[in-house]
């Protein structure tokens, strides 16, 4: 350890010219200078234990021995952004150790045994022990822009990367960018992300009892179950992708061509690509499977260029007919709000769902749909079924010829599903295979309408 410390991070002299004590003193000085260099701003990917997700910290080291520490996470300050100043130094303890040696409100919550756990604390943390984290870290290795640490008590590996103001001028802005990237990469509406290894082995990935963007993940081989073959791993999310606290060793159990992946980078199509082998990927479920998931409602876009052909014509006709169609010699005078495809959990049926801005005027027309392949779907409608629609759905289906035509259009031939983002697939494009000009962009929101 002493020999390694003496070599990093300054230039290498003859290794044994100085005594171990002198070499260690040089290493402490060199690491102190490294942390302060180029503005002294670093991103720490902090893990306190195996039962919680990782937490992002921005640390700006100053030459006067102070450090500004910022974060935005569920366990500190009620989840709101916080920054606090305290002191730091690189000290000797069987090698160089980065120590945050006075209390920092943003950081020391994880190493304070008197802290009562919040939302993130799980099985490995109990009241009386707090989060069992570290505030002192053994320096293992470094480059100019990255330092690898190990928690002095926990032994958990911690990465620090130099953070340029070009990424985000302020700490608070970084966490705002981070949140936006997280929402573009994952959705709490999507289940069953797919990890595919180099050998083609596929694993289902989900959040452990919550959304996957909570960064506590479950894995099981496709075709198996979480109960029979489940694995669990915590992770941290940065603007570049996902880093797991430990390598995913279970990936190597079935094929020697697979690697124990640990870090994944976001790709232009939204997927996550393994850094270690450049092959293993994580992406969202197949389009047809996602379209079929019961917790998502897909709303028709009304924006220019996002609805075309007969979809556009009929949508406009529904708007007009809802206003002007006479029932009992009086115009309906309904203001049409939206049209949606999705699952009715109360009826256990798929439906065309709509709302008119007149009281609680929702309606459902129940459809059957068939998954042809990963990106193809087909609808059908039986007006003579036991429950072809609910009360309002039946009224509108009977009153508006354009709504009947919209149902007919959906049930004409097969539809191809596509999306630019393969992770969240939002929006998704529904396009007729027989007439590609008939398409509509479908988007889901945080809750089904």
Per-residue pLDDT of the chain (449 residues; tens, 9 = 90+): 444 444 555 444 555 566 777 888 898 999 999 999 999 999 999 999 998 999 999 999 999 999 999 999 989 999 999 999 999 999 998 789 999 999 999 999 998 765 544 444 333 333 445 688 999 999 999 999 999 999 999 999 999 999 999 999 999 999 999 999 998 999 888 889 999 999 999 999 998 777 888 899 999 999 998 888 899 999 999 999 999 999 999 999 888 889 999 999 999 999 999 999 999 999 999 999 999 888 889 999 999 999 999 999 999 999 999 999 999 999 999 999 999 999 998 888 899 999 998 777 899 999 998 999 999 999 999 999 999 999 999 999 999 999 999 999 999 999 999 999 999 999 999 999 999 999 999 998 643 33
Q: pTM here?
A: 0.85
Compute the residue count for the chain. Answer: 449
CATH of domain 2-173: 2.40.128
φ, ψ at 404 (rounded to 5°): -65, -40
Tokens 């028709």: give the residue.
Answer: 300
Q: Report the pLDDT value the prediction gives residue 418, as an integer from 0 to 100.
A: 97
Residues pairing with 242 in the sheet: 237, 264
Q: Report the pLDDT value the prediction gives residue 290, as an integer from 0 to 100.
A: 93
Contacts from 99-103 at CB under 8 Å and sequence distance 24+?
A: 99/135, 99/136, 99/137, 100/67, 100/69, 100/135, 100/136, 101/135
Rg (CA), the chain: 28
Please, are residues 246 and 235 in contact by the beta-carbon 8 Å criterion? Answer: no
- Measure the CA–CA gap between 258 and 203, rounded to whole angstroms: 13
Contacts from 251-256 at CB under 8 Å and sequence distance 24+?
A: 251/195, 251/197, 251/201, 251/203, 251/280, 254/199, 254/201, 254/221, 255/197, 255/198, 255/199, 255/201
Residue boundaries of the structural domains of the chain: 2-173, 186-284, 290-443
Q: Report the pLDDT value the prediction gives residue 64, as an integer from 0 to 100.
A: 97
Q: Which residues contact 361 (CB under 8 A, 6 or more apart)?
A: 334, 355, 392
Q: Report the pLDDT value the prediction gives residue 187, as an integer from 0 to 100.
A: 87
Q: Report the pLDDT value the prediction gives residue 6, as an integer from 0 to 100.
A: 43
Q: Pairing relation of β-strands 96-99 and 336-344?
A: unpaired
- Measure the CA–CA gap between 185 and 174, rounded to whole angstroms: 16
The two three-digit tokens of residue 6, written as one number:
């003496």
Please, are residues 422 and 283 in contact by the beta-carbon 8 Å criterion? Answer: yes
């Amino acid at each position: 350890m002493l020999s390694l410390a003496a070599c990093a991070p300054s230039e290498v002299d003859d290794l044994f010219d100085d005594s171990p004590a002198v070499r260690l003193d040089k290493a402490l000085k060199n690491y102190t200078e490294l942390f302060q260099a180029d503005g002294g701003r670093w991103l720490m990917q902090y893990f306190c234990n195996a039962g919680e997700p990782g937490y992002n910290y921005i640390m700006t080291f100053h030459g006067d021995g102070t450090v500004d520490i910022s974060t935005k996470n569920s366990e500190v300050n009620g989840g709101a952004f916080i920054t606090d100043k305290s002191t730091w130094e690189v000290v000797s303890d069987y090698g160089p150790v980065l120590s945050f040696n006075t209390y920092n409100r943003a950081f020391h919550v994880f190493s304070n045994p008197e802290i009562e756990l919040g939302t993130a604390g799980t099985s490995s943390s109990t009241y009386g022990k707090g989060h069992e984290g570290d505030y002192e870290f053994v320096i293992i290795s470094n480059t100019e822009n990255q330092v690898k640490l190990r928690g002095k008590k926990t032994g958990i590996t911690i990465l620090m990367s130099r953070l340029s103001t070009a990424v985000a001028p302020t700490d608070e802005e970084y966490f705002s960018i981070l949140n936006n990237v997280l929402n573009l990469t994952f959705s709490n509406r999507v289940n069953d992300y797919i990890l595919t290894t180099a050998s083609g082995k596929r694993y289902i990935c989900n959040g452990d009892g919550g959304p996957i963007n909570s960064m506590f993940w479950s894995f099981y081989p496709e075709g198996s179950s979480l109960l029979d073959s489940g694995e669990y791993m915590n992770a941290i999310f940065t603007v570049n992708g996902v880093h797991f606290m430990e390598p995913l060793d279970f990936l190597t159990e079935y094929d020697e061509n697979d690697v124990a992946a640990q870090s994944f980078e976001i790709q232009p199509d939204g997927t996550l690509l393994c850094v270690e082998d450049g092959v293993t990927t994580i992406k969202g479920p197949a389009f047809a499977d996602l379209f079929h998931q019961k917790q998502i409602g897909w709303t028709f876009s009304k924006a220019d260029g996002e609805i075309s052909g007969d979809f556009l014509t009929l949508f406009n006709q529904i708007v007009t007919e809802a206003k002007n169609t006479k029932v009992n010699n009086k115009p309906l005078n309904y203001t049409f709000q939206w049209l949606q495809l999705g699952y009715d959990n109360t009826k256990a049926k798929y439906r065309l769902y709509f709302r008119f801005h007149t009281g609680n005027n929702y309606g459902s027309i129940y459809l059957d749909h068939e998954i042809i392949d990963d990106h193809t779907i087909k609808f059908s409608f039986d007006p003579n079924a036991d429950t072809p629609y609910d009360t309002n759905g039946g009224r509108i289906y009977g009153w508006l010829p354009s709504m009947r035509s919209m149902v007919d259009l959906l049930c004409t031939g097969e539809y191809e599903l596509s999306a630019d983002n393969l992770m969240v697939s939002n929006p998704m494009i529904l396009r007729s295979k027989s007439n590609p000009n008939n398409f509509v962009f479908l988007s889901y929101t945080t809750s089904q309408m």
